[in-house]
Amino acid sequence: MDSSLEEIADPRVRRTRQLLHGALARLLQTKEFERISVHDITDAATLNRATFYDHYPDKYALMQCMVAARFQHLMAERNVQFNGCTSAMRAMVLAVCDYLAGSRELGPHMESAVISVIRQMILEGLTSHEAPRIASAEMIASTVGWAIYGAAKEWARTPGRCAADDVVDLVVALVSPVLLAARDSYGPEP
């Protein structure tokens, strides 16, 4: 399923998905995700179950798509793009921290969606700068995406945590060696 609502050309499909995303978001304010049924979602969206299943195979796919769309929107609002520089990495880590801090649900569906968006951004940045690497761009992007999310999730779960701005440099320092090792493993570029 396409997680970006903006990329869907048919306005009816976009509207239906927005209704489903909105319904799930409203339900999450009062109920845990595991206690929400497809019936609850379709009632809140004023749609029927057949329409739901025309768009998503289950509530997990809806959750993943909704989270990915919201996280992509946050990244776009902040004009975050990965180009390999430290400031881009800082902006990405800060966005992940802010997103997680503002979310009640830190389950596997959120994790998968956010990591997928981070991975795609890093992959686009890596593939735009062809250089020899110790591993594929996909493996590097996945490793860095998981590392950023994992560190941000640990920060978000910490009681009495420091401000997001205060942890960003630490996360960047922990993740940067992966990018450097992958880039520098073959020696200097010709």
CATH of the domain at 56: 1.10.10.60
Q: Give the 3-state DSSP-derived string for 82-122, with helices as H, strands as E and coil as C.
A: CCCCHHHHHHHHHHHHHHHHCCCCCCHHHHHHHHHHHHHHH
How many of the other CB atoms lie within 10 Å of CB of 8? 16
Q: Closest Cα to residue 108, out of 156, 157, 67, 71?
A: 67
Rg of the Cα trace of the chain? 18
User: Which pLDDT belongs to residue 190?
Assistant: 36
The structure's pTM equals: 0.78
- Note whether residue 131 is domain-resident: yes
Are 95 and 122 in the same domain? yes
Are 159 and 113 in the same domain? yes
Are 96 and 35 in the same domain? no
- Please say whether the dihedral angle defined by the alpha carbons of residues 127, 87, 158 and 105, taken in this order, is positive or negative: negative
User: Which pLDDT belongs to residue 130?
Assistant: 65
Q: How many domains does the chain have?
A: 2
**What separation, in Å, do the N-terminal and C-terminal C-alpha atoms of the chain show?**
41
Residue range of the domain that includes 140: 78-184
User: Which pLDDT belongs to residue 186?
Assistant: 42
Are 85 and 171 in the same domain? yes
Asked if residue 121 lies in contact with residue 133, where contact means CB atoms within 8 angstroms, the answer is no
Asked if residue 109 lies in contact with residue 68, where contact means CB atoms within 8 angstroms, the answer is no
The two structure tokens encoding residue 171:
């996360």
Per-residue pLDDT of the chain (190 residues; tens, 9 = 90+): 444 444 567 889 999 999 999 999 999 889 988 899 999 999 999 999 999 999 999 999 999 899 888 888 988 999 988 887 888 899 999 999 999 998 876 677 788 889 988 999 888 888 877 666 677 888 889 999 999 999 999 999 999 999 999 999 999 999 988 887 766 544 344 3
- Note whether residue 37 is domain-resident: yes
Distance from C-alpha of 75 to C-alpha of 81, rounded to nearest angstrom: 8
